[in-house]
């Protein structure tokens, strides 16, 4: 059975699915275009860049979530005596791997030292002052 052929939206030539790209995936337009066209290569590069940026943002968001959660648990434990398990119950909707990493970090770092508490409090005060200046 011969391959299905399409008309390239750029040059108008008949092209197979294998030698073309779906424009809907690249820029939202209907049809297909030859892979060899410079415009198509540019759109493909932009798509790949967007996908890479999305992966980077997802990874950074995950890391920030873990850092924030670990800090919150340790500060709460040091200042209020709140057991970490209390926080873990509140975080039950997080993905299991994220929650496991939070638990591991809290266990690895243990309770905050007095110097860590001082730095945390000073940082919190500085952040509050900055927020008040920008408001």
pLDDT at site 129: 87
Q: Which two tokens stand for residue 80?
A: 């209020």
pLDDT above 90 for 117:
no
Q: Which tens digit of pLDDT belongs to each residue from 104-114?
A: 999 999 888 88
pLDDT above 90 for 133:
no
Q: Which tens digit of pLDDT belongs to each residue from 20-72?
A: 888 887 777 888 889 899 988 888 899 899 999 999 999 999 999 999 999 88
pLDDT at site 57: 96
Pick from 7-11, 100-104, 131-135: least confident? 131-135
Cα(37)–Cα(9) distance, rounded to whole angstroms?
A: 11
Give 105 or 120, the one with higher predicted confidence. Answer: 105
Q: In terms of pTM, does the model score above 0.85?
A: no
């Amino acid at each position: 059975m011969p391959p299905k052929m399409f008309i390239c939206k750029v040059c108008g030539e008949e092209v197979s699915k294998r030698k073309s790209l779906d424009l809907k995936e690249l820029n939202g337009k209907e049809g297909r275009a030859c892979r060899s066209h410079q415009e198509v290569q540019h759109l493909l590069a932009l798509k790949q860049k967007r996908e890479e940026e999305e992966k980077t943002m997802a990874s950074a968001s995950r890391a920030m979530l873990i850092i924030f959660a670990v800090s919150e648990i340790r500060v709460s434990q040091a200042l209020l005596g709140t057991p970490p398990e209390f926080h873990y119950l509140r975080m039950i909707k997080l993905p299991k791997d994220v929650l496991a990493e939070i638990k591991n970090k809290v266990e690895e770092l243990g309770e905050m030292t007095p110097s860590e508490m001082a730095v945390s409090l000073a940082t919190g005060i500085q952040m509050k002052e900055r927020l008040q200046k920008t408001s």
